């Protein structure tokens, strides 16, 4: 499907895409029912494929502990005071660090893990087809051994997650007649390989080009400096390991799952994940990002004192996955949110109903 910008340009949201002649496959109520069933299916398959148990998750954590995530290193969370406890709290942006603490506190055995139905607020997000201030995702974390900290284990885990996505696609095809588009297997590329392959493109353009060719890819090593002196994308230094040398001759044990959206004619990120930092990579990455002051925070002290298990983990966007599988043009067709008036009017005029 061709994609165009609306005749009435969204001047403040230049990345917004309006597909030409867009018509949703399902109405609002049918979409809600389909999303509900997909969530049940995905959760059941996550439990089965990764040996995960569902747990409750916090909406906010105490400020100043290092437990909340700053995502790309600069995002600022929503904070508020709790009078009865005389502390400052922050609404979570993701649960990468909290989940690792939970693995330890719950005594989760090696090669088992936890997942949760996470909702977060990311006030720095600029709304468009894929982004909302409200974030919903399945956050998961799994305890591993030191010998599992390698590309083989990472790829094996990615393939299991891809099988969960494929099962969702098969369900949608069977029950709603939406034709499957995913390839049989997901392909793996390091971000440095994409730079060498497409040196004249931006990182976002590289992702779209490689995903257009292969249908589904896992782009590795996100957060570390490439040979052009830049990062493919930013990652905070204290959850994913993006600096450890790997067996492919590159750096990093993390990455993103991308699929090709025929509706938006671009790559769509469904999951960010990776093997988490150990003590050595934490110290190294904090130094690389000039964030050594974090070493004294609660989470970092737990890790430095070997009180947290080694782990692999990530998040899978719930609205994004529903958007992709149901062939929607906007996450706002899947989950309710607060949208700019300009975006609401332009979308409505082009068949996109934002909840």
β-pairing, 216-220 with 187-190? parallel
- In the annotation, is 256 catalytic? yes
Q: Which of 94, 191, 236, 272 is catalytic?
A: 272
What are the strands of the beta sheet with 254-261, ordered from one edge?
52-54, 113-121, 134-143, 311-317, 266-275, 254-261, 216-220, 187-190
The residue annotated as part of the active site, out of 100, 122, 235, 266, is: 122
**Is residue 196 among the annotated active site residues?**
no
Could you tell me which residues are beta bridge partners of residue 136? Answer: 119
- Residue 103 to residue 119: CA distance in whole angstroms: 19
Residues 6+ apart with CB under 8 A from 213: none
In sequence order, which residues have a C-beta less than 8 Å from that of residue 78 and are 6 or more positions away?
Answer: 90, 91, 121, 123
Phi-psi region of 272 (alpha: psi -120 to 50; beta: other; left: phi over 0): beta
Please choose, from the candidates 151, 192, 178, 172, the residue with its C-alpha nearest in 3D space to the C-alpha of residue 263. 178
| Cβ 73 vs Cβ 235: under 8 Å | yes
Catalytic residue among 141, 256, 278, 333: 256
Six-digit token string for 213: 């060719």
| Alpha carbons 6 and 20: distance in angstroms, whole number | 9
Of 212, 269, 301, 353, the catalytic one is 269
The full length of the chain comes to: 355
- CA separation for the pair 302, 103 (Å, rounded): 13
Backbone angles phi, psi at 316, to 5 degrees: -120, 120
Q: Is 122 a catalytic residue?
A: yes
Residues 6+ apart with CB under 8 A from 297: 64, 65, 66
Per-residue burial over 80-112, b = 16 or more CB atoms within 10 Å of its CB, e = otherwise: eeeeeeeeebbbbbbbbbbbbbbbeeeebeeee
Please confirm, yes or no, whether 23 is among the known catalytic residues.
no
Is 200 part of the annotated catalytic residue set? no
- Tell me which residue of 246, 291, 254 sits closest to 275, measured CA to CA: 254
Catalytic, 269? Answer: yes
Query: Among residues 94, 137, 236, 311, which one is catalytic?
Result: 137
Query: Any idea which residues carry the catalytic annotation?
Result: 69, 122, 137, 256, 269, 272
């Amino acid at each position: 499907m061709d994609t165009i910008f609306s005749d009435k340009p969204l001047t403040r949201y230049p990345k917004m895409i309006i597909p030409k002649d867009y018509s949703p496959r399902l109405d609002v109520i049918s979409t809600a029912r389909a999303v509900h069933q997909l969530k049940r299916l995905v959760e059941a398959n996550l439990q089965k494929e990764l040996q995960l148990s569902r747990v409750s998750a916090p909406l906010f954590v105490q400020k100043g502990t290092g437990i909340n995530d700053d995502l790309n290193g600069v995002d600022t969370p929503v904070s508020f005071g709790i009078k009865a406890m005389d502390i400052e709290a922050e609404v979570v942006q993701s649960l990468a660090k909290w989940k690792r603490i939970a693995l330890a506190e719950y005594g989760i055995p090696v090669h088992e893990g936890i997942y949760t139905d996470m909702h977060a607020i990311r006030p720095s997000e600029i709304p468009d087809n894929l982004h909302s201030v409200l974030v919903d995702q399945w956050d998961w974390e799994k305890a591993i051994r030191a010998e599992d900290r390698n590309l083989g284990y990472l790829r094996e885990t990615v393939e299991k997650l891809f099988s969960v996505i494929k099962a969702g696609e098969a369900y949608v095809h069977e029950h709603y007649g939406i034709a499957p588009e995913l390839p049989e297997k997901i392909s793996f590329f390091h971000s440095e390989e994409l730079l060498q392959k497409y040196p004249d493109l931006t990182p976002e353009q590289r992702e779209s080009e490689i995903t257009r060719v292969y249908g589904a890819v896992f782009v590795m090593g996100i957060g570390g400096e490439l040979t052009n002196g830049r990062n493919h994308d930013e990652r905070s230094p204290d959850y994913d390991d993006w600096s450890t040398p790997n067996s492919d001759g590159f750096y990093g044990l993390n990455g993103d799952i991308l699929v090709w959206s025929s509706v938006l004619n671009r790559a769509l990120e469904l999951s960010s994940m990776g093997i988490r930092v150990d003590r050595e990579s934490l110290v190294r990455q904090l130094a690389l990002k000039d964030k050594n002051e974090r070493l004294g925070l609660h989470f970092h002290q737990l890790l430095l004192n070997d009180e947290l298990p080694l782990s692999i983990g990530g998040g899978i966007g719930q609205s994004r996955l529903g958007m992709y599988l149901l062939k929607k043009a906007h996450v706002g067709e899947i989950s309710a949110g607060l949208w700019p008036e300009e975006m609401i009017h332009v979308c409505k005029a082009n068949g996109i109903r934002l909840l």
